[in-house]
A = this chain, B = another copy of it.
């Protein structure tokens, strides 16, 4: 009767057909001997509330939430974690007897994905491209990592200003500026920074020609350049930065770490990521991206 007692998990998004979460979570479940199945559900924004009520009615164990539902899920859940309260975004819902609980595992997933590069962050200046929900999770993680200064670069400057205000007022950061990609001193800010992060969708499949940075002359060997995008594995942003000698990393490890953290929430476990699992999953998921 194992099949009828399987726990049901899933990811909801629009679009969702290219999500790597199902192969990843089904890999985790097999590896960790969890009797569950993880599916992708294409849910339109206007159907989100029905979806969440239904998932609860059907006794789903948990859901991951991806674009464009991360903010609405935070709002619709009955209970929110302190991080969700602060960031107003959720990527993980857990269905308990008392209702739905919202969490976000993105900030911790980002931090865990840094590995030994994490030491670059304390006391360093960072330039982040983007000011949306993903950027908000990342600046929270950056504040926890003790960075000393942040430049937020965004085409819509008012959004960058709002995120900067959030950093100053809610995250107690002190040196934060919001600029447009055309700011004359952008190269200077890059030169002063140890880390550059792309939290926009620019360069994501299929628009792989795009990049949040047009001129890479200020990028050097000293920089750690991170792109939240993992499809393609090497965006034009990472490709150009690597050509300049920078150390680069894409978003695949963050995806894997946030995924295991979600599973730990659902299972109330504390499964740890080992090197073997990480490399098996990177290989499995890279194959899925082909």
Contacts of A48 in B (CB 8 A): 57
- Asked if A58 meets B37 with Cβ closer than 8 Å, knowing A1-B288, A18-B1, A53-B50, the reply is no
Partner of A3, one of B40, B51, B59: B40
Interface flag for A12 (CB, 8 Å): yes
Interface flag for A42 (CB, 8 Å): yes
Partner of A41, one of B23, B42, B59: B59
A50 to B16, alpha carbons, bound, how many Å? 23
Contacts of A38 in B (CB 8 A): 3
A19 to B12, alpha carbons, bound, how many Å? 27
Interface flag for A8 (CB, 8 Å): yes
Contacts of A21 in B (CB 8 A): 4
Interface flag for A75 (CB, 8 Å): no
Contacts of A54 in B (CB 8 A): 50-55, 57-58
- Asked if A40 meets B4 with Cβ closer than 8 Å, knowing A54-B57, A55-B58, A58-B12, the reply is yes
Decide if A39 touches B288 in the complex (CB within 8 Å): no
Known: A6-B40, A50-B54. 17 other contacts (CB 8 A): A1-B18, A1-B288, A3-B23, A4-B16, A4-B22, A5-B17, A8-B39, A12-B58, A41-B59, A43-B57, A43-B58, A47-B58, A50-B50, A50-B57, A51-B58, A54-B55, A55-B58
Can you report 22 A-B residue pairs in the complex whose CB atoms are below 8 A from each other? A1-B288, A3-B26, A4-B17, A4-B18, A4-B23, A6-B22, A8-B39, A8-B41, A12-B58, A37-B37, A41-B58, A47-B56, A47-B57, A50-B50, A50-B53, A50-B54, A50-B56, A50-B57, A51-B54, A51-B57, A54-B54, A55-B58
Q: Which 7 A-B pairs have the closest CB atoms?
A: A54-B54, A3-B22, A47-B57, A41-B58, A51-B57, A50-B57, A4-B40
- A residues lining the B interface (CB < 8 Å): 1, 3-6, 8, 10, 12, 16-23, 26, 37-44, 47-48, 50-59, 288
